[in-house]
Amino acid sequence: MKCTQAEGFSKDTLFKILDDLESKTRSLNTKARATLAGMKGADSIKPENIGYTLAGSSAAKMDPYFPFETAVDVWSRSFAALGITYRGATMNLDLVDREGKYSNGFCHWPQCAWQSATGWVPSKTNFTSLATPSAVGSGHTAIATLMHEAGHAAHFANVVQRSPLFSQERAPTSVAYAENQSMFLDSLVGDAAWMARYCRDRKGEVIPWEIIKAKIETTHDFAVFDLRRLLSVPYFEKAIYELADADVTPARLLALADEIETKIEGGPAPRPLFSVPHILSDESSAYYHGYVLAELSVQQTRAHFLKTYGTIVDNPKVGADLASVYWAPGNSEAFMDLVEKLTGKPLAADDWVGRLGETAQQVLADEKKDYDAAVAVGPKFLPGSTVDLDMRILLVDGDDVISDSSTAGLAAACTAYAQWLDAK
């Protein structure tokens, strides 16, 4: 029921797609686990150790090139260079953690965008994250979260339909459809072409290639772990809901979680299945497959743009295509139909599997070429530039308004926010 309601197709249709992805990445997962164990020892693939083993020292080395106080400026310039605008929207950005704050990042719309009989009604968006600016990695988390959640905001601000029901976030708005937009835009943070333009330390120095190279060398061969981690959730929920009523006992559910983790992830999961909040909440149960479908479409969309235009970062043709094909229809068109309309082919696993199947050396060669080209041209808009996203941005901390782009422009609002961060 949930799958049909939100996605518009059956559970059988869904699992034909997921089964294909699972079978095509099974050997990659087995190989990656064996490689990690061979490199770092058998203890490295224990669930409590995998995250630490793969993190290495890359996060600390990248940290200076993702200063937290520049995150809003970086996001706004990056989106502006893609030609993304917000059609008169208003956004409250509440980025920093504090005592008593709701413990999850999100983006919600008290006012949906729509075309009324009397004119355009722009969206109003509340955006929150849980950054701790003094922590290592906070800047990277901040910019990735901004690119993701502001991607949601850009999508819903650009739904051009004659009712707000087409631009609201509940069913029949597909989870996969909504997440495709945000996940596509936050994927840019991992591109050398993006980092070479936007990752600079407080002295203005561009992130060195050697840091990006080390990150790729230590993570690419194991990227399949993230795919399998995503896959394990819908397979677990499918198994739960297909149990006979008499079998729904604590002991059977715990055993079932172990079985699915072993089958899909190759052993006990670093993130145990029962720690995934979606499974336990009525409104978010049986929709985690949306993240898997979204990542499938992200990889297919990226492959399409790279084949069609050669580049994605700072390419306004990308923003124009997103707005006209993916965003404008809202939920008036089905997710998989929109993916096929943009990319010219049905949603499939091939592009994601193909990327995972490349060797680290192949990825390094491609990324180094993109890095050198990006360093040569730099970002379309330099740091501190005033850009026009056609949106009012309020940088807030709870009820306190720190700065407002409507008074002196976005660049000045970002400067005032950075000063507030330093003082706080």
Q: What is the pTM of this model?
A: 0.93
pLDDT over threshold 80, residue 59? no
How much is the average pLDDT of 265-277? Answer: 94
Q: What integer is the mean pLDDT of 347-353? A: 96
- Torsion (CA) 148, 151, 219, 236 in degrees, nearest 10: 70
For residue 154, count other CB atoms closer than 10 A to its CB.
27
The pair of structure tokens assigned to 148 is: 């993701």
Q: For the chain, give the mean pLDDT.
A: 94
Band of residue 336 on the pLDDT scale cut at 50, 70, 90: very high
Residue 360 has which token pair? 């680290």
Distance of alpha carbon 237 from alpha carbon 323, whole angstroms = 34
Q: Is the pLDDT of residue 219 over 80?
A: yes
| Closest listed residue to residue 412, CA positions, set 21, 11, 18, 72 | 72
User: Could you read off the pLDDT of 286-323 as tens digits, one per residue?
Assistant: 989 999 999 999 999 999 999 999 999 999 999 999 99
The residues, any chain, with a CB within 8 Å of residue 404's CB and separated by 6 or more, are 392, 393, 394, 395, 413
Taking the domain 2-423, which CATH number applies?
Answer: 1.10.1370
Tell me the domain boundaries of the chain: 2-423
What the block records as the tokens of 156 is 């819903």
Give the separation between CA 160 and CA 175, rounded to whole angstroms.
19
**Of 206-215, 220-229, 273-282, 386-395, minimum mean pLDDT range:** 273-282
Going 123 to 128 to 129 to 131, the CA torsion angle's sign is positive
Encode pLDDT of 82-98 as tens digits.
999 999 999 999 999 99
What integer pLDDT is reported at residue 56 of this predicted model?
Answer: 65
Amino acid 352 reads W
As a whole number, mean pLDDT of residues 342-367 equals 96
Return the pLDDT at 102.
83
pLDDT at 211 over 90: yes
- CB 125, CB 94: distance < 8 Å: no
